[in-house]
Structure 1
Amino acid sequence: MSRFAIRFILQAGLITGLIVLAGCAGVRQIDTGNTPGAASAELFVPYQYQVQAIDGTELRSSFYSFDGRDQTLRVAPGEHTLVLRYFDLIEDNGDRTDDYARVLSEPITVSFTARADSRYAVTGERPSTPSAGEAFAANPSLAIENRASGDTVSGEIAVAEPEIETIRRGNTVFAPVGKTAAASADTPQPAPKNAPPQSLQMLKYWWDNASQAERDRFEAWRQQSAGQSGVQ
């Protein structure tokens, strides 16, 4: 059987599986420990913003697998601190190693105030390309709104700094936040051995976000390195 046929079968199986999951997954109800019968509010969280913790209680620890379900939480009235991870599966037409890119942000912390018998929702952009997803994950713009009035009830958000070595792991993007040591050093750092195919996308990302002075220094380094190795 040809590689094309095998690829077609695998893709067809994936699409069928996604359709089945979409039909039966529905909305995941998350237990926040709210006392049954007590006054509460409802928070709707779209699937691309997976809930990691609320008020210091961890609700999800592993993000190796993609979960395409929306989530709802019942919370007590008052102040709450929510930790989310932007995690989306984005079609990638430019990557020949995979048809989709999994984009995963570092933990995003946002606080909000809930009132009894009110309904709220996390709102934000839905990037349509891997590069836009990486940029959004590095600097997300989201809010928590009252679903009836549209008023914003959340404050400023904060994104955790990533470890340099975990910016990419497998086919998952751990989007860089701000300037890391590798980005701010005067001398460009060498690429790691056995770098994955996605390294090209990261090179493009850093190039697009570098200043002209940084690009000039990189070009000077690249030409010097090529001259030393005898490669033009």
Structure 2
Amino acid sequence: MKKAMALSLALLASPLSWAESLTIPMEFEFVALDGTKVSSSLFSHKDELELTPGQRKIALQYKDLVPESVGDGHRRVSSSPFVITLNVEPGVDYQLAADRRILDVKTAEAYAEAPQVVITASNGAAATFSLQQTQSDESSFVDKLLGDQPTAPSAEDAALAATASGTAAVAASNASQESAKPAAPSAPTDARAEEMLKYWWEQADDATRKAFMSWAVQQL
């Protein structure tokens, strides 16, 4: 009877052991999982993400508050989003960490230029993953994004680009009001869409560009 009860309890508890997850330290932040934005809070750090077996694409960002070498101040250092493609095995948990020690502002800023990570698996085996940097600089990221899109942006994408900067939106509104003869609506060509997106990118400030990049990496 005791053996039967123990077996029943083991069977009931066993599904819990099948859960897979990825854990990250405080200096990293989840951005997206398989193209879906990961919700976050300003008041609590999400350090664990549940996964399903198979190949998962996880977008992350390095964000750290590093003490300055002089005085008691700290400096915020962050990277552009990067994408981890991880082969998740059933029943295995994973833990991510930076591939080096971040000692000061200098090493933090150097790391933020091109983050690299190590991932360890709970079963002791080597984790199978690859890392893709989304950009080397802001302009090249936009070029890459445009190159990866096989079709022209949808109306929603165009609206997002148009509202990326309040100043740019006002300028577009004024330009449309000054037009004496309204043009017949037509779908933009790929070249025209690329030209429009680059124009709005140049009008946007740094904060808006970073917000757009965070959205764009979720579409990869």
TM-score of the aligned structures, taking structure 2 as reference length: 0.49
**Higher RCO (Cα < 8 Å, 6 or more apart):** 2
Report which of the two has the higher share of helix.
2
Question: Which protein shows a greater Rg?
Answer: 2
